[in-house]
Amino acid sequence: MAIIGVTGVTTLILASLASGQTSTKCNPLTSACPKDGALGTTFSQTWNSSSPSALDEDFWTVTGGAQLMNMKDSGLVMTLNNKGDSVTAQTSFYIFWGEVEIQYQAASGQGIISTLTFLSDDLDEIADHKCLSDVEAQGSNSTHVSTNWYGQGDQSQNNAIWYPVTPSPQSQLHTYRVSWTQEQIQWWFDNQLVRTYAYSAPKHYPQTPSFIKMGLWSAGDSDQPGTVAWAGGPTQWDQAPFAMTVKSIKIKDGSTNASSYTYDTPSDGSWQKIKIENGTSSAAEDANKPPPQSMTQRWHGLTTGAKVGIAAGAVGAAALGGLAFVFFFFKQRRAGKKERLAADAAWDREHTELMSYQVDAGKDEYGASQVSVTTTQQHPPTWR
């Protein structure tokens, strides 16, 4: 396995780059921060063309590029079309230890970065992040994927290591998994363990509640030459669009039966100072909510008494419908009979009047008959 490390200047570039692409609302090291809503369970999601057109707001917050997301048979597709485009979605909940598994196909393209990130709280949006461990794929690197992490935004840490992925990460879906515990962080590529970092090792270990981010962005458009070089070169927008496809994601919170996480004030950033509030979180309630049932499932879920009642009601409704039809039929029949009798009577009157007129017309001035009339004749009368 060919492993590529990142040292010196490049690592500093990665750190500052990551801080520029991530931000949170509060830094518990410097101020009192509100509690973080927990997941407290396991959440999983798979995307395809029948999925809702937008990410579920109960679980996701799209911080950029919502209009650049589309649901297709292949999964959730994030697409960059023009300079300045970026797509980022983050969970609306936090996990405190845990595991994330994502299946995605990285975007191709020089300067294009596909990423999965864990990130904890930090107030300064342009400063370095507090804790970060991630999986990143460069669009121009068709053989390796990066693993990286930082503790409390320490840019002196040289933590990025690139591992080979076959076939290339841009050619098909691959499964990436990050397992994060009090003892170690492990990175898995397609069920193969590629890296382990221990809590006991030097440097500040990521250890505070984190939310999960996934996204696609252009590092090749940076105004920092070192960042552009790290990304493989300037982004070539004449080759757009650049698309990242996420098929599925599974997130497991290491703390179960947790509704929220709170930092001590002031906090030193250690996991021992995190308070876990027990209970069921809103995210857990939504995640464990049963899916909508079909009509067949609803019927099978009814009691026998309810089914009998519904069947009796249906029979009663059908009987009433039948009686209404019979009543309407006979009513219309009676009305039709009356109309026919009236029409026959009118015809008889008109026929009698016609016969009388013909008889009168056939007499001379002395009352003698000039015409022989046969009422059954259909041809004109014959004159003598």
pLDDT in tens, 91-101: 999 999 999 99
| Token digits of residue 130 | 């507090």
Contact 116, 105 (CB under 8 A): no
Six token digits for residue 324: 């209404």
CA distance 287 to 304: 31
Query: Which tokens sit at 184?
Result: 């170690």
**CA quadruple 81, 86, 92, 96: dihedral, nearest 10:** 130
The region of weakest confidence among 21-35, 91-105, 160-174, 290-304 is 290-304
Choose among 326, 59, 29: nearest CA to 211: 59
The average pLDDT across 209-234 equals 92
At 54 the pLDDT is 94
Known active-site residue 136: yes
Question: In this predicted structure, what is the pLDDT of residue 30?
Answer: 85
Residues 6 or more apart in contact with residue 67 via CB below 8 angstroms: none
Please state, rounded to an integer, the average pLDDT across all residues of the chain.
Answer: 79
pTM above 0.75, yes or no: no
The amino acid that residue 367 corresponds to is: G
Residue in 57, 99, 125, 350 annotated catalytic: 125
Identify the band that residue 299 occupies on the pLDDT scale cut at 50, 70 and 90.
Answer: low
User: Residue 35: what pLDDT?
Assistant: 94
- Quick check: helix, strand or coil at residue 37? strand
Residue 343 has pLDDT above 60, yes or no: yes
Q: Are strands 87-91 and 210-218 parallel, antiparallel or unpaired?
A: antiparallel
Cα separation of 114 and 96, whole Å?
A: 24
pLDDT for 1: 59
Nearest CA to 15 out of 150, 105, 119, 124 is that of 150
Which residue has better confidence, 258 or 227? 258
User: Is 350 in the active site?
Assistant: no
